[in-house]
Chain A
């Protein structure tokens, strides 16, 4: 079977998102394309998973309740998981937010604005993480 090869080639994608409907959609869209998806419902949960786990990429919402938001997740990865530094996609409800904008400009991190079309999502994912 060729699946083990695939599994070996790309570790699961960590989706950090607090909105269940958005998680459900992301999981459905990504898994249908063959990506493995794990998810964390908050920034803090996401960081806990990142400390122990091995992931092929991170998709994180920018604005989340709790103490850790998308920008902080991004910073933590830059510091502690440099191999993932270029494998982050942010999704945002308001790119006009000046804090988000400066983050995006500094790092060149791709950002998808909600609401987004599924094709747009898959394009950015494939370009950033590669094919599953």
Chain B
């Protein structure tokens, strides 16, 4: 039909409708024709040439109202003269009626109405059929036009939509030529989209390529209807989604590529994975029932599995937790707190060995608050644990050594202040507050401090000082002889930051050693002397005897008698010497009785008081009044003191000064000490003074056995005797120390006496 509307015509719908209205009016010999088209609530009117008035506002609204009221097939509306004038012909002829014919779509929707201003009020059957045919023709055209415009709109929309997509979209045909691209792709290349149409796909290669040998850089397998893969250039990585439309009767086959730039995502993923796998801590995602969803390499390594897959595959939790209740405890804690920080857990490796871990865990909850996933970070602290316990053991061990050693161990800082003292120091009588923070050197005897400070200096320079022997004040105030070793202690930079001092009180050891040596010597001398004395007595007996006989012999002349007297005298002296020797060698057994030393001393002094007084020797007594008794032999002790006094007397006599002898007694601990000091000439060799035959006196003035005998007596009393020169002051001091009588010994003596 001539009026059929095709796509090209539809673009000119207003013209068509005007033409249609004019033609319809002409065909039905009407004065005027128009088409009202409903667009929603709006109505548009298209009229042919003819009455201008019909296009006025008033006439239109009247007309539209009539058109919308229209029901049924054809309506004939008579026109009053006023309205008829609106639709008059250019020649001024007035219509009688207006004819309304509805225009309906195939589904019955009213699309509009055809209106004609007719001269006659009646319509023939032919005219009615013609009008119906015209209305259906208009309906078809309008419907077509509508579909076409919808198509146009959606087509435009589609282009806009794909242009709005930031992913690159390109469509190509089987000849590998571009059919269409979206704006993103075109703008990436810097051209309008239309410029690319018809170009070869290969020209897009710089964007990215899959690496296939096809002429399209984005195609992988032309047989696949849909596929997804990655194409990349040096800068970008794309996820390519490809669809292929098969060839149909009106269109040839197309291939559509959508390129999604996943460079950043890939990079983020890569970084994440890299981080995930490279960190030394174990990372894991797990289900609450104990299955791992993902773990990193460190985690695999930590738990001793061969690969990530092995660990993910296995239901490891029964093996992982040596004690099932510890896993329950862990879950309870996580459920309650949601996050666990520095959670300590002992796990079991694949090989069964134990792994001490420190974990930071968070739980992912669902909408109902149930934990659906566990995410965690795990540190292997086995070594630290072992190291820690080893350290603890070592520390305990060292502490034990420090506390049980019999040596005093102190640590000094570089200034010489004591920063540590082991338990032994306190056991030895030192108080913590007088040690810690104080200078150790202050405890050293004043005359030896330089020596100690020198040693400290040496140590501070990194050298060890071993076994220096110094007098050091003990905790109880007495002086002791100490062996001291100093070792430097260094920090990480190898600088000396403190000094370890090991001190041992060797007073007793030194004394004991010298005493042992001395008593051994004395015993040897005793045996020797005893033998000699005995042998000498025989010839002496003969000499003395025969001399006596000669003296009794009247035949011996007087002159010879005088000589014999001298022989007698010297023999007598020899006899005395031998007697002394023997009494040294064989001491009498010590009598056991209670002895008050002060009394013994007083009696002894009395024995020599005449000599002292007559030679101007001043004797001072400083006796402790409540001096404890000792047990021993008063006579023998008197012999000891007398011997010492004699020595002192001789010494002060020799010095030529006014002699002074000071005698003091004092109880110290379990001993009674007697000190006898003089201001005489002193002793040439205090170490040898108790040796038999050691004498500094003139020949004939003494046998040199006196002090040896004293030594023996004091030793037999369980005591000791020492002597030394007074140092700065002239003279010497003898010290006799005998033990205080114990209660048991006193009782035993009392019993003996009472028997």
Question: Is the CB of A19 closer than 8 A to any CB of chain B?
Answer: yes
Taking a contact as CB atoms closer than 8 A, the residue among A28, A97, A115 that contacts B541 in the complex is A115
CB of A21 within 8 A of chain B?
yes
Task: Indicate if A96 sits at the interface (CB-CB under 8 A).
Answer: yes
Any B CB within 8 A of the CB of A106: no
Name the segment of A1-9, A42-50, A79-87, A116-124 touching the other chain: A116-124
A93 contacts the other chain (CB 8 A): yes
Query: Which residues of chain B come closer than 8 Å to A26, judged between CB atoms?
Result: 545
B400 to A: closest C-beta gap in Å:
53
A22 proximity list for chain B (CB < 8 A): 538, 541-542, 545
Interface: A126 (CB within 8 A): no
Chain B residues, CB < 8 A from A28: 545-546, 549
Q: Which residue of B lies closest to A113 (CB)?
A: B537
* CA of A121 to CA of B562, assembled, Å: 23
Q: Nearest B residue to A26 by beta-carbon distance? A: B545
Point out which of B538, B543, B548, B549 has the most chain A C-beta atoms below 10 A from its C-beta. Answer: B538
Instruction: Give which listed residue, A63, A96, A118, contacts B583 with CB less than 8 A.
Output: A96
Residues of A near B588 (CB, < 8 A) are: 96
Whether a CB of chain A sits under 8 angstroms from the CB of B80 is no
Selected contact of B540 from candidates A63, A97, A115, A119, CB within 8 Å: A115
B555 to chain A, nearest CB (A): 13
Q: How far is the CB of A65 from chain B (nearest CB, A)?
A: 12
Contact assessment for A19 and B538 in the assembled complex, using a CB-CB cutoff below 8 Å: yes
Query: Which residues of A52-99 have CB atoms within 8 Å of chain B's CB atoms?
Result: 63, 91, 93-94, 96-97
- Closest CB in chain B relative to A36 CB, distance in Å: 18
Residues of B within 8 A of A115 (CB): 537, 540-541, 543-545, 571, 575
Docked Cα-Cα span, A15 to B585, in Å, equals: 29
Minimum CB–CB distance from A19 to chain B (whole Å) comes to 4
The chain B residue sitting closest to A95, CB to CB, is B582
B552 at the interface (CB under 8 A from A): yes
**1/0 per residue B576-606: CB within 8 Å of A?**
0000001101101000000000000000000
Asked if residues A63 and B544 are in contact (CB atoms below 8 Å), the reply is no
Indicate if the CB atoms of B541 and A116 lie closer than 8 Å: yes
List residues of chain B with CB within 8 A of the CB of A114.
537-538, 540-541
**CA A121 – CA B543 in complex, angstroms?**
14
Does the CB pair A25–B542 fall under 8 Å?
Answer: yes
* A117 contacts B549, C-beta separation under 8 Å: no
Residues of B within 8 A of A63 (CB): 534
Q: Is A51 an interface residue (CB 8 A)?
A: no
B262 beta carbon closer than 8 Å to chain A = no
A11-25 contacts to B (CB < 8 Å): 19, 21-22, 24-25
Residue of A nearest to B586 (CB): A96
Check A117 against B533 for contact (C-beta < 8 Å).
Answer: no
Q: How far is the CB of B730 from chain A (nearest CB, A)?
A: 39
Chain B residue nearest to A116 (CB atoms) is B541
Pairwise interchain contact A94-B534, C-beta atoms closer than 8 A: yes
- Chain A: CB-nearest residue to B540: A115
Q: How far is B586's CA from A63's CA once the two chains are assembled, in angstroms?
A: 16
Contact indicator A118/B552 (Cβ below 8 Å): yes
Residue-wise interface mask of A (26-49) relative to B, using a CB-CB cutoff of 8 A (1 in contact, 0 not): 101100100000000000000000
Tell me, yes or no, whether B118 is within 8 Å of chain A by CB.
Answer: no
User: Whole-angstrom distance between the alpha carbons of A103 and B546 in the complex?
Assistant: 29
Bound together, the chains give a CA A116 to CA B543 distance in angstroms of: 10
Considering the complex, give the chain A residue whose CB is closest to the CB of B547: A118
Q: State whether A116 touches B545 (Cβ < 8 A).
A: yes
Q: How far is the CB of A32 from chain B (nearest CB, A)?
A: 7
- Given contact pairs A93-B533, A93-B534, A115-B575, A24 touches B542 in the complex (Cβ within 8 A): yes
Q: Is the CB of B552 within 8 A of A21?
A: no
Q: Is the CB of A25 within 8 A of B549?
A: yes
Closest residue on chain A to residue B552 by CB atoms: A118
Q: Does the CB pair A117–B544 fall under 8 Å?
A: yes
- A28 and B541 alpha carbons, distance in the complex (Å): 13
- How many residues from A make CB contacts under 8 Å with B? 22
Count of B residues near A, CB < 8 Å? 24
Q: A97 vs B540: C-alpha distance in the bound complex, in angstroms?
A: 19
B539: Cβ under 8 A from any A Cβ: yes
Q: Mark B548-584, 1 if CB is under 8 A from A, else 0.
A: 1100100000000000000000010001000000110
Q: Which residues of B contact A118 (CB under 8 A)?
A: 545, 548-549, 552
For B575, the chain A residues whose CB sits under 8 A away are 115
B530 close to chain A: CB less than 8 A: yes
Closest to A17 in B: B538
CA distance in complex: A60, B476 (Å) = 62
Q: Using Cβ atoms and an 8 Å threshold, which residues of chain B touch A21?
A: 538-539, 541-542
Provided the pairs A21-B542, A22-B542, A115-B543 are in contact, do residues A93 and B537 lie with their beta carbons within 8 angstroms?
A: yes
Which residues of chain B in 519-546 are interfacial with respect to chain A, using CB atoms and an 8 Å cutoff? 530, 533-535, 537-546
B539 shortest CB reach to chain A, Å: 6
Residue of A nearest to B546 (CB): A25
- Distance, CA A29 to CA B542, complexed state (A): 11
For B583, list chain A residues within 8 Å (CB).
96
Residues on the A chain within 8 Å of B541, using CB: 19, 21-22, 25, 91, 114-116
- Distance of A83 Cα from B538 Cα, bound (Å): 30
Minimum CB distance partner of B587 in chain A: A96
CB distance from B489 to the nearest CB of A (A): 61
* Complex CA–CA separation, A91 to B530 (angstroms): 17
Contacts of A32 in B (CB 8 A): 549
- A94 contacts B530, C-beta separation under 8 Å: yes
A32 to B553, CA, bound (A): 10
Give the nearest-CB partner of A92 in chain B: B537
The CA of A17 and the CA of B546, in the complex, are separated in Å by: 17
Q: Do B538 and A93 touch (CB < 8 A)? A: yes
Q: A117–B575 Cα gap in the complex (Å)?
A: 11
Bound together, the chains give a CA A63 to CA B530 distance in angstroms of 13
Q: How far is the CA of A94 from the CA of B537 in the complex (A)?
A: 9
B544 partner residues in chain A, CB cutoff 8 A: 115-117
A132 to B540, CA, bound (A): 27
Chain A residues with Cβ below 8 Å from B542 are 19, 21-22, 24-25
Q: How far is the CB of B570 from chain A (nearest CB, A)?
A: 12
Q: How far is the CB of A50 from chain B (nearest CB, A)?
A: 23
Which of B545, B548, B583 is the most central at the interface, judged by chain A CB atoms within 10 Å of its CB? B545
Closest chain-B Cβ to A25's Cβ sits at a distance in Å of 4
Report the separation of the CA atoms of residues A21 and B544 in the bound assembly, to the nearest whole angstrom. 11
Q: Mark B497-520, 1 if CB is under 8 A from A, else 0.
A: 000000000000000000000000
B715 CB → nearest A CB, Å: 17
Chain B residues 47-95 with CB under 8 Å of chain A are: none
Chain B residues, Cβ within 8 Å of A94: 530, 533-534, 537, 582, 586
Q: Is the CB of A117 within 8 A of B548?
A: yes
Docked Cα-Cα span, A117 to B548, in Å, equals: 7
Bound: A118/B534 CA distance, A: 19
Cα distance A32–B535 when bound, in Å? 27
Write the nearest CB–CB distance from B687 to chain A, whole angstroms: 29
**What's the minimum C-beta distance from B574 to chain A, rounded to whole angstroms?**
8
Report the minimum CB–CB distance from B523 to chain A (whole Å): 16
14 contacts between A and B (CB under 8 A): A21-B538, A21-B541, A25-B542, A29-B545, A29-B548, A63-B534, A94-B533, A94-B537, A96-B586, A115-B541, A117-B544, A117-B545, A117-B548, A118-B549
Top 10 A-B pairs ranked by shortest CB distance? A118-B548, A21-B542, A25-B545, A96-B586, A114-B541, A115-B541, A93-B537, A114-B537, A115-B540, A115-B544
Residues of A near any B CB (own CB < 8 A): 19, 21-22, 24-26, 28-29, 32, 63, 91, 93-94, 96-97, 114-119, 121
Given A19-B542, A21-B539, A21-B541, 5 more A-B residue pairs with CB atoms under 8 Å apart are A114-B540, A117-B545, A117-B548, A118-B552, A121-B545
